[in-house]
Structure 1
Amino acid sequence: MPNLAWLRAFEAYGRTGGIRRAAALIGIDHSAVSRHLKALENLVGVNLIDASAPGGLTEAGLHYYHTVSDALSAIEAETTRLRKARRDRLTLWCVPGLAVRWMLPRLRGFTDTFPDIALELRPSDAPPDPRDAEVDGDVRYYRDGGAAAAMVRSNELARPSVFPVCSPGYLATLPPLASAGDLLGARLLHEESDIEWRDWLAGQGISLPGDALPGPRLWHAHLVLDECRNGRGIALTNAFLLGDDLASGRLVRVEPQAKPFNEVSLGAYFLTMRAERWSERPVALFRQWLKAAMTSDLGGDF
């Protein structure tokens, strides 16, 4: 099988009729074109180049040129088709809680507005490998100080406050709260560690000893909220993960009797995307839609 570089040089020579013009067409040195042409002739065993002939090709060279040109044109056309199809598709990963509780109910707004963009949403606890060309982007919550550089380009979408919630039934079992410190007597629900509760309590002016806070470790935000809905404790969460839990009354915010708790933000949601696709139409449109939707909801009662 001929080397592709030889075939590209030969096709450019046949199209332009000269070595220097072929070199300029494909952007390489003219001496490289000469070497490629000689190597191709050696491989096929016949003369392809005749500088004195019209077009600079022998009869065999002219026939071979048409074959090679048609083949390269077919490859180019199919490559263009595949790239266009790829540009019209958007593969997005997302942390599961946000995907299920917030994004999925709103995605129809994007797909109805841009029906030509095929959107694929994959919930995943872990961010994708940035080397995976099949993944265009990822939406994920990063705690302050964490790395949001899973891909080359990133954009902060929203920085929601976190607050404690529980079921109405569990709230009825609690004594009246005078301060955030009173929550330490309740069953606190954690993800993989107690760091979020510690940081939130620090935001309320409460410093804690090094001992681990009591309460189960459930690792995933959706498991924490399920346990919370079932009346088994108090969870720290943000509005994006609650869906309609507050509006429906399945969960209620836990507040002291006097003044409200201090507003505390522990991190932000980021959209990270492949750098080479950052400005392409599907990616740019989705970035703008997602940022607007999250900003709008963060400022409203949802």
Structure 2
Amino acid sequence: MPPYAALRAFEAVGQLGGIRRAAQELGIDHAAVSRHLRALEDWAGVKLIDRTQGGRLTPEGAKYLARISAALEEISRATLDLTRRGDDSRLVIWSVPGFAYRWLIRRLPDFYAAHPGFDLEVRPTDHTPDFGRHEADADIRYIRDMSAPGDTDVQAMEIARPVVFPAASPEVAARIGQGAPAEALLAETLLHEDDDSEWRTWLAARQVEVPERLGGPRLWHAHLTLDAARRGQGVVLTNALLAGDELAAGQLVDLSLQPAEPEIRFGGYAFRARKDRWRDPAITKFRRWLEREAARDAGVA
């Protein structure tokens, strides 16, 4: 085996495209990187860097880089697994923003009270983490179909599958009227996240003939549509999990339009983690706390 420091220096040069950049990444002097490269070339008996071409990799160097990069990445992943396994006080969680802002954040003090000293990092994001690259230990996503085939290396637990309903500010609700027909919404400003598909599905289920185009702003995040509705800017399609605070405070009103049936549940919030880490102490602590909190909240039923 060649010296590990020489391999690491060569991999950094190849990935970053230069000795100086590699030196900055590794936190060492660029002269030390050059010495590592020469030591590796002397050890292998093959030129890996073409110094007449600005330090570009030779064909042999490019082939070697492709293979050792995968090996070094695997060493890094294995080491992270080794050092994190058994750590019952640290967790990095990514979450769909609406759930993080509207439900999770106000319950975290209870989690910290039950688990003092726990180091929890929550990142609201629309992106799903790459568990293989250790971008997160766990993830909370809104999943339309929990029974659909997914990543075989990932295990998931449904947190809640709430009923969705239209809500508006008290002023807008008074203008529409409680118990009004669902068709009345076609005359209102409808607030959308990324598209109008959810409104179309909900209206069609209430036997409303949906026009070819549904107007209304696209706001992309649930907490933005709720804020706009609270300010009287339109009608939001939401659920008690996200809108519980505003409903309890009277800032939003469930419109209770007719017909009242059927109930619509678009999808569920799911807690996800790698299968081989599902029972890790930190993940188990948070997952069980999440289950208890969801069970106590009637709004997520």
CA–CA distance in structure 2, aligned partners of residues 167 and 185 of structure 1: 16
CA deviation string 1:159-183 (max 9, x = no partner): 1000111001122333565321221
Where in structure 2 are there 5+ consecutive unaligned residues?
A: 5-42, 44-78
1:292 maps to what in 2?
292
| Cα distance, 1:124–1:184 mapped onto 2, change above 3 Å | same
2:172 paired with 1:173:
no
Structure 1 CA distance for aligned equivalents of residues 157 and 105 of structure 2: 20
1:72-87 correspondence runs (5 A)? 82-83=83-84, 86-87=87-88
Q: Which amino acid aligns with 1:203?
A: A
Secondary structure at 1:97 match in 2: helix
The residue number in structure 2 matching 1:275 is 275
Cα distance between partner residues in 1 of 2:123 and 2:221: 17
The Cα offsets for residues 215-237 of structure 1, whole Å up to 9 and x where unpaired, read as 11222212211111110110001
Distance of 2:131 and 2:167 partners within structure 1: 35
Whole-Å Cα distance in 2 between the matches of residues 133 and 287 of structure 1? 18
TM-score by length of 2: 0.66
Cα distance, 1:95–1:199 mapped onto 2, change above 3 Å: same
2:232: which partner in 1?
Answer: 231
**Counterpart of 1:156?**
158
C-alpha displacement at 1:130, in angstroms? 2.8
Amino acid at match of 1:248: A
Change (3 A) 1:134 1:87: farther
Whole-angstrom distance in 1 between the partners of 2:225 and 2:80: 47
Label 1:89 to 1:241 Cα distance change in 2 as closer, same or farther (>3 A). same
Determine helix, strand or coil for the equivalent of 1:120. Answer: strand
Structure 1 residue matching 2:166: 3-state secondary structure:
strand
> C-alpha distance in 2, partners of 1:133/1:214?
41
Tell whether 2:111 aligns with 1:129.
Answer: no
- Matched with 1:107 is 108
TM-score (norm 1): 0.66
Q: Does the aligned pair in 2 maintain the 1:177–1:183 contact within 8 Å? A: no
Q: Is the 8 A contact 1:97 1:222 kept in 2?
A: yes
Task: Count residues with an aligned counterpart.
Answer: 227
Distance 1:126 1:81, change over 3 A: closer
Identity %: 43
User: Is 1:111–1:117's contact at 8 Å kept on the other side of the alignment?
Assistant: yes
Quickly say closer, same or farther: Cα 1:208–1:299, change in 2 above 3 A.
closer
Residues 252 and 146 of structure 1: is their aligned pair in 2 closer, same or farther, counting only changes over 3 Å? farther
The separation in 1 between residues aligned to 2:84 and 2:175, in whole angstroms, is: 60
Distance 1:299 1:185, change over 3 A: closer
Please state whether the residue corresponding to 2:110 is helix, strand or coil: helix
Question: Structure 1 residues 176, 108: CA separation in 2 closer, same or farther (over 3 Å shift)?
Answer: closer
SS at match of 1:218: coil
Write the deviation string for residues 165-202 of structure 1: whole angstroms up to 9, x where unpaired.
Answer: 10011223335653212211211111111110111123
- Does structure 2 conserve the Cα–Cα contact (< 8 Å) formed by 1:143 and 1:267? yes
Structure 1 stretches of at least 4 aligned residues deviating more than 6 Å after TM superposition: 1-4, 78-81, 145-148
Q: For the residues of structure 1 that align with 2:80 and 2:263, how far apart are their CA atoms?
A: 52
Q: Does 274-283 or 107-116 show the bigger shift?
A: 107-116
Q: CA 1:178–1:82 in 2, change beyond 3 Å: closer, same or farther?
A: closer
1:222 aligned onto 2:223? yes
Report the aligned-residue RMSD: 3.0
